[in-house]
A and B are shown apart, each in its own frame.
Chain A
Amino acid sequence: NAGVTQTPKFRVLKTGQSMTLLCAQDMNHEYMYWYRQDPGMGLRLIHYSVGEGTTAKGEVPDGYNVSRLKKQNFLLGLESAAPSQTSVYFCASSPGGGAAQETQYFGPGTRLLVL
């Protein structure tokens, strides 16, 4: 089992460019999440999904879009990158909701630099 994987590991963008971050999990988990982590800010939830075909907004959704077309994949899109989106992005998954989603499994992260 690979667990949760993220592609790419590192990317440099220019302001205004677009890109998609891919998250894949092989644990058959229902729930998937995207977080961003900035120094001193902890992990902030961007968007999440409670099942294939569903998405929901988190704490900081502006400037991002997501899609969950397949249960094992969760895509995070930046349509027009801004320097404020320079961050480390983590994807996570969990078996379900309620108490089950308290245990989340994280990917290794994607480091994004927007110039």
Chain B
Amino acid sequence: GQSLEQPSEVTAVEGAIVQINCTYQTSGFYGLSWYQQHDGGAPTFLSYNALDGLEETGRFSSFLSRSDSYGYLLLQELQMKDSASYFCAVSNQAGTALIFGKGTTLSVSS
């Protein structure tokens, strides 16, 4: 089966850098995805890593190490609006659905 582990909460101040880690176990791996969800809202796609290394998109970057079954989401120059929950996700064995981690709640303070 699939399982994912990520911290439940992270706190930081505006302008700082924060890293949200995700370790996974899966029997069929396509890649690691990250989603953001603001309180009361719908999850939205942030990034997807299929290969090892760092992918950068503006202030957000995502990293994957397939050999370590590990990835992280890096958020730079934090802003108050980055306060949200962040979920990592991997595909099920058949590649037909995503299994999500329990999410990390990021609180950014001024």
| Residues of chain B within 8 A of A62, CB atoms compared | none
Assuming the contacts A42-B87, A50-B96, asked whether A99 and B30 have C-beta atoms less than 8 A apart, the reply is: yes
In whole angstroms, what is the CA distance A91 to B16 when docked?
34
Query: Which residue of B has the minimal Cβ distance to A6?
Result: B42
Q: How large is the interface on A (under 10, 10 to 19, 20 to 34, 35 or more residues)?
A: 20 to 34
Proximity bits, A95-115, B CB within 8 Å = 1, else 0 = 001110111111111000000
| Residues of chain B within 8 A of A48, CB atoms compared | 96-97
- Answer yes or no: A41 CB below 8 A from chain B CBs: yes
- Cβ-defined partner of B102 (8 Å) among A40, A58, A90, A101: A40
Label chain B's interface by main secondary structure. loop
Contact A101 B91 (CB under 8 A): yes
**A35-64 interface (Cβ within 8 A of B):** 35, 40-45, 48, 50, 56, 58-59
B residues within 8 Å of A by Cβ? 8, 30-31, 33, 41-45, 48, 50, 87, 89, 91, 94-103
Q: Which 8 A-B pairs have the closest CB atoms?
A: A42-B102, A106-B42, A43-B100, A98-B95, A102-B33, A102-B48, A42-B103, A48-B97
Selected A-B contacts with CB under 8 Å, 16 pairs: A31-B96, A40-B8, A42-B103, A45-B97, A45-B98, A48-B97, A56-B97, A59-B99, A98-B30, A98-B95, A99-B48, A102-B33, A102-B98, A104-B98, A105-B45, A106-B42
